[in-house]
Amino acid sequence: MTSQIVQLDIKSDVDQMVRRMNAGIKQVKPALNSTINRVATTIRKEGVRELSKKTGLKQKKLRESITLIRSRPQTMVAVIKARGRPFNLISFGAKVKRFKGKSVGITAKPWNQKRFFKGGFLLNVKGTDVAFKRIGKGKKEIKPMFGPGAARESLRDEVIKLYNTIGRRRFKEEFPKQLKFRLDKVRR
């Protein structure tokens, strides 16, 4: 009885597989970075929408005060910054309310609810109307009237929960897509 020995040369196949795996591993970091940026963009977009509904502000004004600092491969962190002071009541559609020809206050819709502000009035300051309220008897004893602001409103618990749920959901959807896209590029 004779035995035959079959010898397979798989070294070249293994080397090729290792090269492909290393190239694939190198694609994880760019895929993760791209995913982080896409998730952050979605969180900002949805956050602006939600804050607009809650505060009654136009989305454009909120977009100007909420900025996105994109992730880089070195940092792998995207930052969404909400900055600025609360918005003047004029941003919420403030109008003078009159009774028998006399101004008695202003109406506006901060937090998306119509309210009456007794004693409020509008002044034209540098070409734009601003809502003020008198705080004393003197001519210059006035102070501006404010509604909600992007910085304070975006720190509320329900908004932070919204950011977290959107972020988790979007990351689960986006990371496999980005990784597949990058690996398909390597395989070509």
Beta bridge partners of 144: 132
Query: What are the sequence ranges of the domains in the chain?
Result: 11-84+151-187, 89-147
HSE (side-chain half, CA atoms, 13 Å) at 27 = 19
Q: Can you give the pLDDT of all 188 residues of the chain as single tens digits?
A: 555 555 545 555 657 666 776 777 788 889 899 999 999 999 999 999 999 999 999 999 999 999 999 999 999 999 999 998 999 999 999 999 988 888 889 999 999 999 999 989 998 888 889 999 988 888 788 999 999 999 999 889 999 999 999 999 999 999 999 988 988 887 76
Position of tokens 């901060």?
Answer: 110
How far is the C-alpha of 52 from the C-alpha of 65, rounded, in Å? 12
Q: Is the pTM higher than 0.85?
A: no
Are 85 and 146 in contact by the 8 Å Cβ rule? The answer is: yes
How far is the C-alpha of 108 from the C-alpha of 118, rounded, in Å?
11
Q: Per the structure block, which two tokens stand in for 104? A: 């008695």
Query: Rg of the Cα trace of the chain?
Result: 29
Helix, strand, coil tally for the chain in percent (to 5):
50, 20, 30
